[in-house]
Structure formats: C-alpha cells, structure tokens
Amino acid sequence: DDVLAYAGLAAADILIGANALPDDDPRNKVYPGEFNYGGGHVIEELVAGKDVRLEATAYGTDCYPRKRLETWINIKDLNEAVLFNIRNAYQNYNVAANTSDKTIYTYMGVLRANLGNINYCSAGQLSPLLNDPYYQTIGIGTKIFLGGGIGFVAWHGTQHNPNVPRTEKGVPKRGAGALCVIGDLKQMHPKWLVGTSMLGYGCTVTVGIGVPIPILSEEILRYTTVTDAEIFSAIVDYSDAYPNLKPDILGEVSYAQLKRGKIKLQGKEVPTASLSSYLKG
C-alpha cells in the first residue's frame, strides 16, 4: 500500500514499522501534517483480514531469481505474522502542557497555547507496571493480552529506567519501566489494535495490553491496591522544557485529579484528556 517495508532479515521476510510512511506523504511540509496512512494502518488492515498490496524488488540470486513482484497479500495466507513492540506499557509518564502562545503538535497530541489543555497517557491505577512497581511478577516470558491475542514480554522496553523518584509505597513519580513485547498478529483484532494518526507528528499503532499479576504475597497484594490518588506524575512543558532537555516541571498532579477532567495550574482551570482508553481497560 505504498508504505515502505524493510528487508535484510531472513529471505522472504519483511518488517514494516508502525511509524513508516509512504514516500509521497508530505510529512510536515504542509503543517501540521495529517499523516493519514502509515505502517500502523497497514498493520491494522492486515489484522482486520483485508488484502494489502505488496510491491517488492530485489537484485536476484541463483536460488531467488525473481527481481520484481507485485501482488496482494492477506494475513490468512502468511506463514507467520508477528507484532514486536519495543516500548509498551510505560510505567507512568509525563503529563503534557504548553505554556507558549501557539498551538503545538506532539506525540502526546495537540497542545493548545497558553495552557489551553493538558494530555496524559497512563491508565493510572489500571496500568500493569504501576500495580507491580518493582517487577516482582512481570519479566521475560510473562504471558500477556496483546492486541486481542496472546503475547509475551520479550525484554525490558527501550528507555526502561526504574531509577526514578518514587512515593513511600514505591510508585514511580516519573516515566520509569517499560516492556518490550511480542505476539501472534494472526490472533489479534482491530478492536484492540488501531492504526493512529497524530496530527503534526506522525503515525503509530494503538495497542491494548493486559498483564496478569499473581498474588504471591501480602506485599504484592498491597501493591495491586494502588489507587489513582496515590499515583503522581510531573507536568512537563512541551513548548520549552521537553524539546530543550530541561529538567524543569510545572508541578506534580495525581491521576485522580487528572481524571476529573480539569486541574488548576498557574491560577487557571485547564481541561485534561487521556490518550489511554479507561473504558476499554
């Protein structure tokens, strides 16, 4: 479907990135870019059972002589289709704000000028790694719900950093752990895996993840009773501090406050919105 995929794996294997774009997409040359169709959308169409157009070229060898192929593929005809996400289920994350006098477009969504809105992405008390803050039951090989099918934790996710400030109950107050996960794409469902366009930023794929936490001790039980009122995160200015790598924050806020739909910041009421679906969770 004109979205670039990559070879260089094993013969006849290809990789498509959720952020990949067609060559003719204008990106942010027409600002803000709409990013209407990319790798995440291709993956969603495969999961939905739709036919996807494939164009491939190669230099040809004695055992693989074909140099060009144009065809349609369907997930049911593929020997294997695997989803591999290198960073999922972030253990807490920034709360995004914008103090500048212009609207900005980020991976945290559209942020309106002069603290016009605030976006956050963690599910709070439903987030798996916030219910097992020291990873006592979650690790390599943990069987998980992934995109409507079965997946596994493969490794720690990129940018995994457990060494952050924590509350007395061990809950991280900043972005901390992350999971690298893998699963059978053939089992997945478009209800739980959706190609997503982020205005002015790019495209990606939104995936549902669930992690079982066995209650093996009273300590683990206590961790799983965490509430939104006990989980705090930093409000970060994405117009200044974030792009300029400054450590400054605008304050801290609990998820209980965020989920009320508005918070008070710098003397004004600011509407809040989540990038995670609490309803589906």
pLDDT, tens digit, 9 for 90 and up, residues 41-55: 999 999 999 999 999
Q: Is 180 assigned a catalytic role? A: no
**pLDDT, tens only, 71-94:** 999 999 999 999 999 999 999 999
The confidence score (pLDDT) of residue 278 equals: 81
b/e map 95-108, b = 16+ CB within 10 Å: bbbbbeeebbbbeb
The confidence score (pLDDT) of residue 280 equals: 83
Question: What average pLDDT score do residues 182-209 get?
Answer: 98
- CB count within 10 Å of CB 226 equals 22
Peptide bond into 172 cis (omega under 30): no
H helix intervals, the chain: 39-47, 128-131, 218-224, 255-258
The confidence score (pLDDT) of residue 8 equals: 85
Residue 277 has pLDDT above 90, yes or no: no
Residue 230 has pLDDT above 90, yes or no: yes
Q: Phi and psi (nearest 5°) for 97?
A: -135, 170
The confidence score (pLDDT) of residue 133 equals: 97
Give the tokens for residue 257: 């406050």
Please name the residues in contact with 120: beta carbons below 8 A apart, sequence gap of 6 or more. 93, 94, 95, 96, 108, 233, 255, 258, 272, 273, 274, 275
Q: Judge contact between 224 and 212, C-beta under 8 A.
A: no
Average pLDDT, the chain: 97
**pLDDT, tens only, 157-184:** 999 999 999 999 999 999 999 999 999 9
Question: What average pLDDT score do residues 200-213 get?
Answer: 97
The confidence score (pLDDT) of residue 181 equals: 99
Please name the residues in contact with 31: beta carbons below 8 A apart, sequence gap of 6 or more. 200
**pLDDT, tens only, 93-144:** 999 999 999 999 999 999 999 999 999 999 999 999 999 999 999 999 999 9
